[in-house]
Amino acid sequence: MRRHLISAADLSRDDALLILDTADELAKISERSIKKLPTLRGRTVVNLFFEDSTRTRISFEAAAKRLSADVINFSAKGSSVSKGESLKDTALTLEAMGADAVVIRHGASGAPHRLAGWVRGSVVNAGDGTHEHPTQALLDAFTMRRRLGSLDGRRVTIVGDVLHSRVARSNVLLLATLGAEVTLVAPPTLLPVSVGSWPCAVSYDLDAVLPKSDVVMMLRVQRERMNAAFFPTEREYSRRYGLDRDRVAKMHDDAIVMHPGPMNRGMEIAAEVADSPRSTIVEQVANGVTTRMAVLYLLLGGANLGGEDQ
Ligand code: CP
């Protein structure tokens, strides 16, 4: 594995399978009464969040603590960033505190890449602008593998606001590496112009794709990133691209429904679908902890995975 995890494209098939297999081992340990391992004792993980997060920030903190690392949580709100301190100076300040790994979420695409040039420790991209969110793709692949087995030849449909979605880009890259066939379904206004070079198919007809899908991953409509009208009305968007009970009835019996969260219930996904047995949304959150444990463990070269509880 490389020293940093900036993009899902950084991962070879062997790297990705190693992370997923390690996460499987860590999930078994997480079922023990005492979940903590000593593997990263004495190492420091800094969580550097310039954008809001619930799932990613909490799960990276839980992952690092379960591996016995020291954890420093930095949130831009309430920090010297409000006084104009730059990303570089913020990073160097944290570096001076001895960070072995920096987990960064930032509104600017490319911020983790810049950070990797300034710090000695490993950099993990926890979401940068509309670019990538590689650990979300890893936890999604982990969840699919647990429900469906190998991803080779599996048909994964990703639906909605692809244009603003770092989750979609990372998933397309990782799922292609793992042998899945990905189809993006979105209105033409919510697809990036570069989508023709992505390793996936594109459709505008959700109803035609659903019966052929093993996985249907719904994306959040990111209204906070929209500075123009990308669809006529929310009602029209839901009618064309929302997943409701009638659409789920077109899926085959074993197909699953995913969403990275946070959801716009009633818009891209009906509440009854989000809460149905097909939905893996809560599992995805739980799997985020073990998958991020695996990433930190492998990047920081932890030892004794099967070691003693403490
Ligand atoms: N899926 C995801 O990244 O959620 P958060 O924004 O809550 O971290």
Q: Are 119 and 110 in contact (CB under 8 A)?
A: no
This prediction's pTM: 0.95
How far is the CA of 129 from the CAs of 23, 101, 112, in angstroms?
26, 20, 10
Q: Which CATH number is correct for 8-132+285-300, 3.30.2350.10, 3.40.50.1370, 3.90.550.10, 3.40.50.360? A: 3.40.50.1370
* Marked catalytic residue, from 35, 36, 55, 278: 55
Q: Are 137 and 165 in contact (CB under 8 A)?
A: no
Surface-to-core class of residue 262, CB atoms within 10 Å of its CB (0-12 exposed, 13-18 middle, 19+ buried): exposed
| Whether 252 is catalytic | no
* Marked catalytic residue, from 105, 106, 131, 169: 105
Mean pLDDT of 104-124: 95
Would 8-132+285-300 and 134-280 be classified into the same CATH topology? Answer: yes
Q: Are strands 155-159 and 215-218 parallel, antiparallel or unpaired?
A: parallel
The pLDDT-based confidence of 1 (bands split at 50, 70, 90) is confident
Q: Which CATH number is correct for 134-280, 2.120.10.30, 3.40.50.300, 3.30.420.40, 3.40.50.1370? A: 3.40.50.1370
Ligand 1: lining residues by beta carbon, under 6 Å = 53-56, 127, 136, 260-262
User: Which 3 state secondary structure label does DSSP give 109?
Assistant: coil
Per-residue pLDDT tens over the stretch 33-84 = 888 999 999 999 999 999 999 999 999 999 999 999 999 998 888 788 888 8
Q: Is 135 a residue whose pLDDT tops 70?
A: yes
Does 220 appear as a known binding residue?
Answer: yes
Q: How far apart are CA 273 and CA 218, in angstroms?
A: 11
102: β partners: 46, 123
How far is the CA of 231 from the CAs of 22, 166, 174, in angstroms?
42, 20, 29
| Whether 32 is catalytic | no
Q: How far apart are CA 124 and CA 115, in angstroms?
A: 10
Q: Are 295 and 256 in contact (CB under 8 A)?
A: no
Mutate to test the pocket of ligand 1, among 49, 54, 135, 164 (most ligand atoms within 8 A of CB): 54
The C-alpha angle with vertex 88 and arms to 166 and 260, in degrees rounded to 5, equals: 20
How far is the CA of 220 from the CAs of 88, 199, 204, 268, in angstroms?
31, 22, 17, 7
Compute and round to an integer the Cα radius of gyration of the chain: 19
Would you kindly state where each structural domain of the chain is located, as residue ranges? 8-132+285-300, 134-280
* Per-residue model confidence (pLDDT) at position 78: 79
The pLDDT-based confidence of 310 (bands split at 50, 70, 90) is very low
Token pair belonging to 137? 């793709």
Q: Are 160 and 171 in contact (CB under 8 A)?
A: no
Per-residue pLDDT tens over the stretch 231-261 = 878 899 999 999 999 999 999 999 999 999 9
* Per-residue model confidence (pLDDT) at position 305: 56
Q: Are 223 and 266 in contact (CB under 8 A)?
A: no
Token pair belonging to 268? 């891209």
* Per-residue model confidence (pLDDT) at position 308: 42
Longest dimension (CA), the chain: 58
User: Which 3 state secondary structure label does DSSP give 102?
Assistant: strand
Q: Are 208 and 238 in contact (CB under 8 A)?
A: no
